[in-house]
A and B are shown apart, each in its own frame.
Chain A
Amino acid sequence: MKNRIQEKRKIRKVTQNELADAMDVTRQTIISLENGRYNASLVLAYKLARYFECTIEDLFIFEEEDVC
């Protein structure tokens, strides 16, 4: 699943470390999310959406091929 985390983070001028601290996750998790190697849990998706003041749909791009 693609996402706009990196884009939104850069607009806000927040580092990966700062975002990781705010989300209570490791920096590696943020890196994996941004690279699309890892899909966030529902709780983390909510926390990220709240942090960036947007909806989950704005942050995560759901595509038909993501259906398992």
Chain B
Amino acid sequence: MLVKMMSHAETLKEYKDSIKKRSIVFAAMAVLGLLMASSGFGAFMTHVIQNDHHSGFISGIGVGLGICGVLLLIQNQKLLKDEKKLKKQWIEENDERNRLVTLKTMSTAGMWAFGLVYAALIVSFFLDMKVFLTLAAVVAVVIVCLTGSRVYYERKM
């Protein structure tokens, strides 16, 4: 979704080029996933990492990333071979209403998530200092990202 949002193609030719670029990203995702999965399984088998949860976490993320990368890569290759499907997908991604719906969805979800994290931050102050500091760091990062985005779009538009 993030990759789709970040690449905006005005024409079908531009979209075809962006699909080719995306294929490289998805191939890298698949390779990274494979590496993570194999290192996770390797660590589990050789007991290099004492905590089983850590190796399970790494291999789980790796398998997920690898499967997503491969599936998206296959989908992209199919699109590049079929002009009709490519145009349909381009319209689906480039449609102004769809883009607005996605932006509003992300904005609303982001504001709700931020509000909930802020509420949790206040509650955690009375319960656990570690959780409080973690949530404070999350809130700080979100504020920095929001400010950075605001400055960027104020200058761009």
B83 contacts the other chain (Cβ, under 8 Å)? no
**Is B97 a contact partner of A24 (Cβ separation < 8 A)?**
no
* Contacting residues of chain B (77-95) with chain A, CB-CB under 8 angstroms: 90-92, 94-95
**B contact residues, total (Cβ < 8 Å):** 9
B102 within 8 A of A: no
Binary flags per residue of B103-132, CB closer than 8 Å to A gives 1, else 0? 000000000000000000000000000000
Q: Which residue of A lies closest to B97 (CB)?
A: A29
Interfacial chain A residues near B97, Cβ < 8 Å: 25-26, 28-29, 32, 38
* B98 beta carbon closer than 8 Å to chain A: yes
A41 to B96, CA, bound (A): 8
Interface size on A, residues (CB 8 A): 12
Q: Please measure, in the bound complex, the distance between the C-alpha atom of A39 and the C-alpha atom of B95, giving whole angstroms.
A: 13
Q: Chain A contacts of B91 at CB under 8 A? A: 20, 24-26
A2-16 CB contact bits vs B (8 Å, 1 = yes)? Answer: 000000000000000
Residues of the A chain whose Cβ atoms lie less than 8 Å from the Cβ of B94: 24
Among B90, B96, B97, B100, the one with the most A-chain Cβ atoms within 10 Å of its Cβ is: B97
- Listed in ascending order, the chain A residues whose CB lies under 8 Å from chain B are 20, 24-26, 28-29, 32, 38, 40-41, 43-44
Q: Give chain B's interface residues, CB within 8 Å of chain A.
A: 90-92, 94-98, 100
A-B contact pairs, 21 of them (CB 8 A): A20-B91, A24-B91, A24-B94, A25-B95, A25-B96, A25-B97, A26-B92, A26-B95, A26-B97, A26-B98, A28-B97, A28-B98, A29-B95, A29-B96, A29-B98, A32-B97, A38-B97, A38-B100, A41-B96, A43-B96, A44-B96
